Structure 1
Amino acid sequence: MLIAAFGGWNDACQAATDAVRHLTSRYPSREVRTIDGDGFYDYQATRPIVCYATGRRRIVWPQTTVYDVELPQGRHLYALIAPEPNYRWPAYCAQVLRIADELDVRRIVTLGAMFADCPHTRPLPLDVEDGSAEAVTDPDQRYSGPVGIPTILDAAAVDEGFATSSIWASIPQYLEGDDCAAATLRLLDAIGDVAGVPIDAGDLPGRAGAWREAADVLASTDEALAAYVKRLEREYDAHEKARREASLGGHACRQLVMEAEAFLHSLETGHDADGDGRGPVGGVGTTHDGTV
């Protein structure tokens, strides 16, 4: 598979590109392909940088780099990192997919990170889509509006017959910054699930804990922010409860049906479902979880 992350609009707190940087620094990696930036970048918006190597000045131009990353158990994946292009997105995506085809890639996985109304005190929301927009895990959360290069690359890959996955992490909008290890960790966990190989988290769990502690301190010194976080917690918990109830498995559904049938039988026989002869009071009963 090819993991692709782009800096800029699609990369809140650099969480997505940091996921690729983590892969290439944590595992043996080598550069296998590049795409030159000429024709794809506005150098006033995405500027080249100057650095010094072995005492000599070097200009580094924006470009796309693809790495071969060697995972445990002899597994490999390719990782692409680049600034989001400014121009000619269809042509750019065609070049990426040509490289993917040359490398025998079968699945394209695009990463992204965005600011959202979510609390730092809960697991950061993760949106995973497979195949097409019709496969969104939560249909009520389907997005309509402006998109970035990950969405365009995903759509182009589908058109060319590649399997695709899109993984986006959400970051509390009240915690804008240059780094969010918690979001990077969420993305890497999802990559591990897709790749079938757990990703070594390195120091990310500790950095994620420090991020949450700093957010706790910030909220504790601002009453308005603390109240806002509490409201986000209530909304998050309510949404998670609704999601769990909507995804009840077959066994849970059968249990509810059996309890309902027992209750109805008790109305007919004058005995309650527990066999103690008392029956439901006032014709109303509850299940073991308190449901009327």
Structure 2
Amino acid sequence: MVVALDGFLDAGNAGAIACRHLVAEGADVGGGVVVATFDVDQLHDYRARRPPMSFVRDHYEGYDPPRLVVRLLRDEGDTPYLLLHGPEPDIRWEAFCRAVLEVVERFSVSLVVGIGSVPMAVPHTRPIAITHHANNAELLTGTSPWRGELRIPSSAQALLEVRLGEWGRDALGFVAHVPHYLAQLDYPRASHALLEQVELAARLTIDLGGLAAQADEREEEIARYLAANAEVGDVVTALEQQYDAFARAEESGTSLLAEDQPLPTGEEIGQQFEQFLAGLEHPDDSGGNQ
């Protein structure tokens, strides 16, 4: 079962894009049937994340309620698998984990694979880094880029992996490192990288051609914008220098700190990429306004 919850771990909408791709591909081979649903009213904070609806002239319509569902899909080789996707629960995480365990037991799920993404100070011109994690070290398919212990904000998806391990169920996952200046945009390149890992870990065959095309199109948009905006390009260059210095230090086993290559401050990056984001969202609007 693949798990991707919208919200905390979804920089660049990488998980959501990956889910849409899996559902679309699954529908092409006769899959996509919803086999389990969660009572979202017990899990969702509507005031914190208000669902969209339409106001048409003089009335409301088109309410789009949040849905947290499990779908039955099939890969290119007709292998069945489940996809749990939707908004991350705001409350009752323990109850949510127990409900997922019911799904795991009911459908005899042998492995749970989580995907997510986080913003990182990395350039988009370098390979997508992936953090591998698992509740059983034997499940790991790659080496972690981290050393020691990190205290991080928790998520329902991370807690699910912990609880499944306590209940004797195998779970692993992958987190893509998305350039922080692209975290608010759709970034299908990260989705592609995540699904490549899912293929390897879950032994699935997924057609990623369409997703690769979306990723290439986005990269071309970014390249065009950088070519026309030297100031933003300078920030990316600084990130590239920092990234490369870090990689060299890792390879040599020396200090992980890059000398004389300080990262831009958050304020500097924010100022540069407000314009960057506006340019990508409205590429045909030279004034930056609709």
State the TM-score, normalized to the length of structure 2: 0.75
Helix, strand or coil at the partner of 1:206: helix
Cα distance in 2 between the residues matched to 1:148 and 1:91: 14
Identity %: 27
Helix, strand or coil at the partner of 1:171: strand
CA RMSD of aligned residues (A): 2.6
Structure 2 residue runs of 5 or longer lacking an equivalent are 55-60, 254-290
Match 2:84 to one of 80, 87, 91: 80
1:32 aligns with 2:35: yes
Map of 2:48 onto structure 1: 45
Match 2:134 to one of 130, 135, 147: 130
State the TM-score, normalized to the length of structure 1: 0.74
| Change over 3 Å in CA distance of 1:162–1:42 after alignment to 2 | same
| Change over 3 Å in CA distance of 1:212–1:22 after alignment to 2 | same
8 Å Cα contact 1:34-1:66 kept in structure 2: yes
Q: Which amino acid aligns with 1:34?
A: T
Alpha-carbon shift at residue 102 of structure 1 (Å)? 1.0
| Change over 3 Å in CA distance of 1:156–1:76 after alignment to 2 | same
| Change over 3 Å in CA distance of 1:58–1:162 after alignment to 2 | same
Map of 1:108 onto structure 2: 112
| Change over 3 Å in CA distance of 1:41–1:203 after alignment to 2 | same
Larger radius of gyration: 1
8 Å Cα contact 2:72-2:82 kept in structure 1: yes
Comparing 87-96 with 132-141, greater Cα deviation is found at: 132-141
8 Å Cα contact 1:37-1:61 kept in structure 2: no
Cα distance in 2 between the residues matched to 1:229 and 1:49: 35
Aligned residues: 242
1:225 aligns with 2:232: yes
Alpha-carbon shift at residue 144 of structure 1 (Å)? 1.8
Structure 1 residue runs of 5 or longer lacking an equivalent are 52-56, 247-292
Q: Which amino acid aligns with 1:44?
A: R
Helix, strand or coil at the partner of 1:38: helix
Cα distance in 1 between the residues matched to 2:161 and 2:224: 39
Structure number with greater CO (CA < 8 Å, separation at least 6) is 2
Match 2:153 to one of 117, 122, 146: 146
Cα distance in 1 between the residues matched to 2:151 and 2:216: 33
Cα distance in 2 between the residues matched to 1:124 and 1:169: 7
8 Å Cα contact 1:120-1:215 kept in structure 2: no
Map of 1:271 onto structure 2: none
1:197 aligns with 2:204: yes
Alpha-carbon shift at residue 232 of structure 1 (Å)? 2.0
Cα distance in 2 between the residues matched to 1:62 and 1:230: 40
